[in-house]
A and B are shown apart, each in its own frame.
Chain A
Amino acid sequence: MSIFINKNVCNGCGKLKETLCERICPGDLLFRNAAHKAEIRSQADCWTCGACVKACPVQAIDLKLPSQILKSNVSLRAQCKKQHTVWEIRNGNGIKEEFVIPATTGNEAK
C-alpha cells in the first residue's frame, strides 16, 4: 500500500464539496465513499507524493511504502503550518524523529 487512511480519524471533511485529499491528489485517486470517509481507488496507482498527507486537516493519512508490511508501526506524517512543514517519522522501534522545515516566506499570502 502507498497511503493508509485511518478511518477512525478521517471525518470525510464534513460538508465540504469534496474532501481536501480528493481535491488535491495529482492522480485523481481519492474519493469520498458511502461511509463519508476518504478512500483510495487504487493503491497501485499511487505515486507516494504525499500531497494528501499534507492536505489532511486531521492527520488521518500516513504515507506508506508499497513494500511496507501493513502492520508495521513505521510511519511518516506531515502537517502544513503557516510557514513551516512539520514532519514526523516513526521507525520500527517506536523512535520518533521530527523535522520542522521552512516552506514559504509568507509572501504569497500578501
Chain B
Amino acid sequence: MKEISTVKLDTDILIIGGGAAGCMAAIEAKKLDQSIKCVVMEKAHIERSGCLAMGLNAINAYLTTGQTPETYVKYVKDEFFGIIREDLVYSIAKGLNESVRQVEELGLPVEKDQNGDYMSRGKSSIRIYGERLKPILAAAVNRANVKVLNRVVATNFIFDGERVRGAYGFGNRDGKFYVVHAKVVIVTTGGATRLYKPIKTGDARNTTWYCPWNVGTGYAMGIRIGAEMTSFENRFIPLRVKGVNAPTGTIAQGSDIRQRNALGEEYLEERYKHLGGRKCLSLYRLLATLQEEKAGRGPCYLDTTCLSVEEEKKLKEVYLNMNPAIVLLWANEGYNPRKRPVEIGGMEPVVIGGHCQAGYWIDGERRTTISGLFAAGDVAGGAPKKYVSGAWVEGKIAAKAAVEEIGKIELLHINGEEVNKEKERIVCCMNGREGISPEELERNLQEIMDEYAGGATAHYELTESKLIIARKKVKELEGKLGLLSAGDKHGLVSCLELIDRFDVAKVLIEHLIYRKETRWPGFQIRTDFPERDDANWLGFVNSVYDPVEDRVIIIKRALKKENEYLYK
C-alpha cells in the first residue's frame, strides 16, 4: 500500500463534489460551451451521493404566487436577525423558479394541482416526488459529456501560493493518487457533520439528519490554503423526529399540526406568543422545544393524531421519498402517526451553508478569496435557506463566471515536489506507528465538542470559559493525528475525513468564541452574553487560517447597507 500509483489529468474546469450545486455547475458549463473540458470529482457515486442520497420530498426555496425576490430576501433576513449577504440571497432568489423548471425538464416529477400548477407547501416551498432526484441529475451530467471521477476523495487543492491550480484526490476503489490540474476549480462539497457527539449512539450513530459522509472536506481544503470563511458560529441545529432524525417540516410545514409538550399544552401558543406563537421563526420552534424539555415539560410532540386516514397515507408516501426509515419505525413500533403523536427534539449541531450560512466568503459571481477557486451550495457562506434549488442557482452562477475565466487562464502544472508532499501526507495515514484508529480519535473530538462547544449534552449553550477549554483540548488531541492508522483504503479515507473535521472544528471554536452576543437563539446561545447586541455585532465574523503560525485570524466584516448591493 505504501507505493501508490498516480493518475494525472488536465481539464478546464474541475468541480469538487457531485451534489446539487456540482451537478448543476457541470451541466451549465457544458451548456455554455460544449467544447469545454469539465471533470467532476466525487467521493461516492454521483447517482446516490451526499445529502440527497435518500431523496427529497419538497423544494424549500421557491417563489410561489405573490412572492418576489425582494420578499424572499426579507424573509431570509428576518429569519437570521439581519445578518445575511443580501446580494447573494437576492441573486439566488432571482434564479430559483427557473432552476426548478429546468430540473423538472430533466425528469423530476413535481406535484401539481388540478390546474397544473405546482402544489405549494407554504410561501416558499413546493412538493416534489424526489426519491430519484440524484439519479436524475446524474443522468443529465452524463448526457452533457462531463467526465465524472466517482469514488475519488478530494484531499487538498493544488495551490502555488497565488492561485488554485486543481486538486489532489485519492481513489478509494482503485487506491490511486489523483492529480487533476484545472484552469478553474469550483468547490461544491457539503457541510460538516459528525463534529459533535451524535444524539444516537452505538449502531445508530450514523443515522443523522445530514449525510454522515459530508464531513466538511471542502471547508478544510479551503482553510488549509487560507481562504476566508464566514459565519461558522451560525451553526444549524435541526428539530427532528426522535429515533430516526427525520425532518419535521414534512409533517409540520403547510399543515395545521400543533407542537405539544408532555402535558398536552400547545406550548408555542401558550408560552412563546411574544415570539410569534405558532407562526414563529423556525429557530424558535427549536428553542421553545428545548426550553420545554429543560423545564420538565418534555418530551415534545408534533400532534399528528388529528390526521385523516388519507393524510396519514400521504405522509408515509412523502417520507418514503425522503427518509424511508421513519415509515419503518412506525411499522416496527406497531403504531401509526394517527394513533400516537410524533416525538421531536434537537440533533447534534451541523456546520452548513445551505440551511444556515457557514462557508466560503464569496463575491456575487461565487469567487472565493483565493484566485482560481469558486464555491457554490452548502460549502458557500452568507446565503442561508438556499436549500437544493438555491444550490442549483449558485452552481449555475459559478459555472458562468468560471467559463468566462478559463479563456484568460493558462493551465499550469505544479512542481513534482509539491505533488509528492501531498502523496506523502496521504500515505502517512497508512503508517501510523502506534496505530490509533480514526474511530477512537473521532469519539474524543466529539466528546470535547459536545461538552465544551455547545453540543446536545450542554443544551447547545456556549460560554467563553468552556470554549477556551474546547480550544485547548482540541489542540492537544490534534497532536495525535500523526498517529492515525488505517488498515485499508476505506480506513484511509476515514483518517483523511477526521483530519478535515479537526480543521473545521478549530475554526468553528474560534468563531464561537469571538461572537460575544446571542444572535441566533437555539443555534448559537452564549449564556455569558445572552442578549442580541446590534450596536456591536450586526455584522459578519469571518476568519482566515494561518498555517505557519497555526492560528485562526478573525476578521470582522460590516454589513453592507442595502443600497451598496448591486441588484442586477
Contacts and interface: CB of A to CB of B under 8 A. Distances in A.
B207 interface: yes
Nearest to A83: B109
A64 B324 CA distance: 10
Given A68-B332, A72-B332, A105-B107, A44 B203 contact: yes
Size bracket, chain B contacts:
35 or more
Contacts of A90: 331
B211 interface: yes
Contacts of A101: 129, 131, 317, 320-321
Interface residues of A, number: 51
Given A28-B490, A66-B207, A107-B106, A48 B136 contact: no
A104 B324 contact: no
Interface stretch (B42-50, B216-224, B248-256, B291-299): B42-50
Contact of A104 (B107, B206, B327, B331): B107
Contacts of B204: 44, 65-67
A68 B334 CA distance: 12
A92 B493 contact: no
Contacts of B456: none
A74 interface: yes
Nearest to A53: B324
Interface in A30-50: 41, 43-50
Interface string A58-102: 000001111110001011101010000101011111000101011
Report which residue of B53, B135, B206, B329 has the largest number of chain A beta carbons within 10 angstroms of its beta carbon: B206
B317 A24 contact: no
A107 B44 CA distance: 25
Given A45-B212, A65-B329, A104 B109 contact: yes
B140 interface: yes
A13 to B, nearest CB: 15
Interface in B165-185: 172-173
Contacts of A89: 327-328, 331
Contact of A107 (B107, B321, B328, B490): B107
Interface in B206-240: 206-208, 211-213
B334 A47 contact: no
Given A26-B45, A65-B332, A91-B332, A104 B132 contact: yes
6 contacts: A26-B53, A44-B202, A44-B206, A80-B132, A87-B327, A107-B107
Interface of B: 44-45, 47-50, 53-54, 104-109, 129, 131-132, 135-136, 139-140, 143, 151, 172-173, 200, 202-208, 211-213, 243-244, 316-317, 320-321, 324-325, 327-329, 331-332, 334, 490, 493
